[in-house]
Structure 1
C-alpha cells in the first residue's frame, strides 16, 4: 500500500501544514503547555516526597521517643501510614488529588485516608487538573481536529480531489497518505514529553533497571494509538461531510461528547446502578455490626461472657486471676480480631461495588477509547483508585499486626492485678517495623484490563474499515 502516490500525498499534506502559521502557533503553545504541566507535576511530586519523608521521620521519632507505657495506651497513641507518590505520578496525577496520602492507625478503628488536596472540591474542578496526561487526552485531539477537519471536505469542494482521482490516485491511497502525515505529526508532538518524563523520573531517583521505563514505553504507544483513533475520526467526518465548517462543528461536538460529557454520565450511571456506601455510612455500619457481635470494653457483654467461660475451660482454671496470662489482654486480642473481621466484610462489599462500577465503564471502551486510555494511563502511573485501595489494605494489615503485637505485650507483660497502673519498657517500641507501602508490579497494575485493551483496537479498526469501505469510496467518487 505504501507507494509513490501515497508518499506524494504524505509529503504534500506535511508541506501544507508546515506552511500554516496558525497551526505552528497552536503547536508551539500546546508544546509549551505540555512541558509546563510536566514540570509542574514533577515539582509537586518532589514536594510531596519531601514532605512525606519529613512527616514519616517525625512520626517514627515520636513513636520511638515514647516513655515506658501501658501497651493499650500505646495502641491508642497510634501511628501513621504514608502513601509515597509513585515515580510517574508527575505525568498523570490520576485520583491523587481526591484521595488522602496518610492513614492514622489506632486500636479498634480503621480510619480513612487524610490530607487530600481537593477532597471537598466539586466534580467540575477535576476537569481543570493540569497534567501531561490530561493535555494529551483532552487538548491534543483538538489540534488533530484543527489540522484535519478540512482535509477531505476542502479538497472535495475545491475540486482537488477530482484531479487526484483523474490521475489514478485511489481514495484509499489518499486516506493512507494523510493518516501517515498526521501520525508523524502526533509522534513529533508527544515523543518529547515522554523522553523528558523518563529523564525526570531518572533524576527523581529511578533506577534504570526498574520497570518504570517499560511503563512509560507502553504508555507512549497507548497514546500513539489514541492519536490514531482521533485521526480516523477526523478523516471519516471530513470525508462524510461536504462542508469544512460542518465538519469542524461535528468533530468538536464528538470531542465534547467523548471526553467531557460521556465520562461524567457513565460515572453517574455506574454509581446509580451499583452504589457504594459513603464513608460515614460505611463506618456506621461497621460500628453497628460490632455492637451486635460483642463489645470488648463491656464486662457484661454476652459474647465475651462466653469467651471468658471458654478461656477458663481452655486453661483449666476457675477464675481469670488464676490464668497464666492477663485476661484483659486476651479480650483485647479477641476484640481486635472481631473488629477486623467486620471491617473486612464491609470493605469487601465496597470493593465489589467499585468493581461493578468499573465494569460499567469498561463496557464502553470499544465505543470511546478515551475512557480506556484515561484508565490505562492511571494504572500504568499507579495513580488510579485500585492502587489507592491497595494502599488502604496494606495499611490495614500493618495496623492489625501492630495492634495485636501490642495486645500480646498486654497479655504477657502486664499482670491482671492493678492492670492500668503498670507499664512495659520503652525498649519494646524499637521492635516495631515502620510502615512501607509496597507498590504493585506491572502485571498487578494491568490485571484489571485483561482483554479490554482489544476493544479500543476494534474501534480503530472499524473506523478505518469504514473509511476505505466500498460504500465510502462510491460516495466519494459520486461527489467528485
Structure 2
C-alpha cells in the first residue's frame, strides 16, 4: 500500500481540512516509508552510494599520485637545470627547461579538461611549445568516454536514479484511484505536491551525500579551497534538487506512471547525454578553429617577415642597429659597451614573444566564442551549467589551462630575456663564441610558480551564471507546482 493511501486511512474518520504544513509533512513521511519498503529503490540507492564512494576514493588517490609525480618531475627538471656547467648564455637559452602544472586539491572531484590537455611545457628560446603529455593522448581510448569521478556520478547517473525513484510518486496514486479520493477528503493539492517534493528532494540530497561529504572534508582540510568547495557543494545540491522536483512534477502532470518514466528518461537522454555531446560540434561548425599545424605555419611565415635575430647583419635589423648606435653615441657595433649580438637576440625574442602571445589570445577568443554557443543550451541542459561551475571551482576548466599557458609563456619570456641580458652584458663582442660565464647566474633565476585564478574571478565568470540557471529552473518548477496543484484540486471536484 502506498504512503498516501496510509494518509487516507488516517483521515477517513473526519473531513476537516488538515493544516498545510502538517499535511505536507505527513505526505513526505509516508513517501519515505514507501521508498524504504521498495526493494528496487533501496537497491538502486545503495548501488549509487557505493559507486559514489568508490569514485571518490579512486579519484582522490589518482590525483595524489599525479601531483606527486609532477612534483617529482619538476624537482628533477630543476636539478638538471642547476647542474649545467659554466657555458655561454645562449647555449643555456637552447638548453631549455620543463615546467609542470600542479593540480588543485579539488581536482579529484572533477578532472574537467585536464585529461585532454597537456600538463607539461618545454620552455626554450625563440619557440613556444604546446602543452604535452595529456592522459588521453597516452592512455586507452576508453578514457575519452569519461572517467569515473564523483562529478561524473552526480552529474550523469544520479539524475537517472532520481527519475526511477520519483516517476510514480504522483502518477501511481492517480492510476490506483487514490489521488482523487485523498483530494476529495480535504488534502490540499499544494500540500500533496509539497510533501512529495520535500521527500524526493531529501532523497536526492542523500544520494549526493557522499560527494558532498567529500567536498566538505577537503574544505575542512585545506583552507585555500574551502570557499571553492562550499560553492561547488551548493551547485551540486541545487542540481540534484532540480532533478528531484522536475521528476515529481512530471509524475503529477502525466496520467500514467509509465508515461512519466518514459518522459523522464527521454529528458535525461536529451539533457545529460545528447546536448552536451552535440553542442560542442555545433559550436565548432559555427566558429572553426585552425589546426595546430596551420597555426604553426602561420606563425613561421610571420616570423620570417621579422628577419633572423641570430644574424646581426639581417636587413630587417638594420634600423634596430642604427637606433642602438645612436643611443650609445658610437659609430661601430664593436665600440658598444654591450654585446650587440645579445641585444639583437633580445630584440628578436621580444618580437617573437609578442607574436606568440597574440596568436594565443586569438585562439583563446575562438574557444571562448565556442563556449558561448555551448552556453546557450544551459537553460535546456542544467548539466552544462553545473559542469561550467564544477570545472572552474576545481581548477580543471579551459580558463585554468589557458592561465597556465599564459603564465608559462610569461615565465619563458622572462627567463630567456634574463639570459639574453647576460649575453649582452657579461659576454664580450670580440670574444663572443669562446666566452663562458659562471653557472651561478642561471642557478639564481627564479623558478616557475603557478598561481590559480582567484575565487572572485571564478565566481563572476562561472559560479554566478550557473547558479542563475538553477535559480531560473527553481522558479519555473515552483510556478509549475502551483499550477499543477490547482489542476489536481479541480480534477477532484
One of 483, 486, 491 as aligned partner of 1:469: 483
- After superposition, what is the alpha-carbon deviation per residue over 1:268-326, rounded to whole angstroms, capped at 9, x for unaligned? 11122222332222222222111122321244433212211221222222221111110
- After superposition, what is the alpha-carbon deviation per residue over 1:364-418, rounded to whole angstroms, capped at 9, x for unaligned? 3222211111110111111111001101111111110000000000000111123
Q: Does residue 366 of structure 1 match 2:382?
A: no
Q: Does residue 239 of structure 1 match 2:257?
A: no
1:120 Cα deviation after fit: 7.1
What is the distance in 1 between the residues matched to 2:58 and 2:142? 21
What is the distance in 2 between the residues matched to 1:391 and 1:237? 44
Structure 2, unmatched stretches of 5+, are 1-18
1:56 Cα deviation after fit: 1.0
Whether the 8 Å contact between 1:156 and 1:479 is mirrored in structure 2 is no
SS of equivalent to 1:235: helix
Counterpart in 2 of 1:194?
212
One of 154, 173, 185 as aligned partner of 1:136: 154
Counterpart in 2 of 1:119?
137
One of 213, 237, 247 as aligned partner of 1:224: 237
1:142-221 alignment to 2 at 5 Å?
Answer: 142-199=160-217, 206-207=221-222, 210-221=223-234
1:28 Cα deviation after fit: 1.1
What is the distance in 2 between the residues matched to 1:121 and 1:236? 43
Whether the 8 Å contact between 1:78 and 1:106 is mirrored in structure 2 is yes
1:48-447 alignment to 2 at 5 Å?
Answer: 48-119=66-137, 125-199=143-217, 206-207=221-222, 210-447=223-460
Whether the 8 Å contact between 2:201 and 2:245 is mirrored in structure 1 is no
Worse-superposed segment, 29-38 or 239-248: 239-248
Counterpart in 1 of 2:21?
3
Q: Does residue 460 of structure 1 match 2:474?
A: yes
Worse-superposed segment, 76-85 or 427-436: 427-436
1:478 Cα deviation after fit: 3.2
Whether the 8 Å contact between 1:368 and 1:456 is mirrored in structure 2 is no
Worse-superposed segment, 86-95 or 445-454: 445-454
Whether the 8 Å contact between 2:184 and 2:492 is mirrored in structure 1 is no
What is the distance in 1 between the residues matched to 2:386 and 2:190? 28
What is the distance in 2 between the residues matched to 1:451 and 1:55? 37
Whether the 8 Å contact between 2:216 and 2:230 is mirrored in structure 1 is no
What is the distance in 2 between the residues matched to 1:120 and 1:368? 31
Distance 1:198 1:350, change over 3 A: same
SS of equivalent to 2:130: strand
SS of equivalent to 1:105: strand
What is the distance in 1 between the residues matched to 2:450 and 2:298? 28
Whether the 8 Å contact between 2:197 and 2:244 is mirrored in structure 1 is yes
Whether the 8 Å contact between 1:78 and 1:104 is mirrored in structure 2 is yes
What is the distance in 1 between the residues matched to 2:428 and 2:224? 51
- After superposition, what is the alpha-carbon deviation per residue over 1:161-193, rounded to whole angstroms, capped at 9, x for unaligned? 111101111222111101100111122222333
Whether the 8 Å contact between 1:226 and 1:369 is mirrored in structure 2 is yes
Whether the 8 Å contact between 1:365 and 1:456 is mirrored in structure 2 is no
Structure 1, unmatched stretches of 5+, are none
Distance 1:450 1:17, change over 3 A: closer
What is the distance in 1 between the residues matched to 2:459 and 2:452? 13
Q: Does residue 18 of structure 1 match 2:32?
A: no
One of 50, 64, 69 as aligned partner of 1:46: 64
What is the distance in 2 between the residues matched to 1:324 and 1:8? 90
1:194 Cα deviation after fit: 2.5
SS of equivalent to 1:104: strand
What is the distance in 2 between the residues matched to 1:422 and 1:367? 66
What is the distance in 2 between the residues matched to 1:329 and 1:419? 10
SS of equivalent to 2:129: strand
Task: Count how many residue pairs are aligned between Structure 1 and Structure 2.
Answer: 474
Whether the 8 Å contact between 1:148 and 1:238 is mirrored in structure 2 is yes
- After superposition, what is the alpha-carbon deviation per residue over 1:145-174, rounded to whole angstroms, capped at 9, x for unaligned? 011111111111101111110111122211
RMSD over aligned CA atoms reads 2.0
1:122 Cα deviation after fit: 9.7
Distance 1:121 1:259, change over 3 A: farther
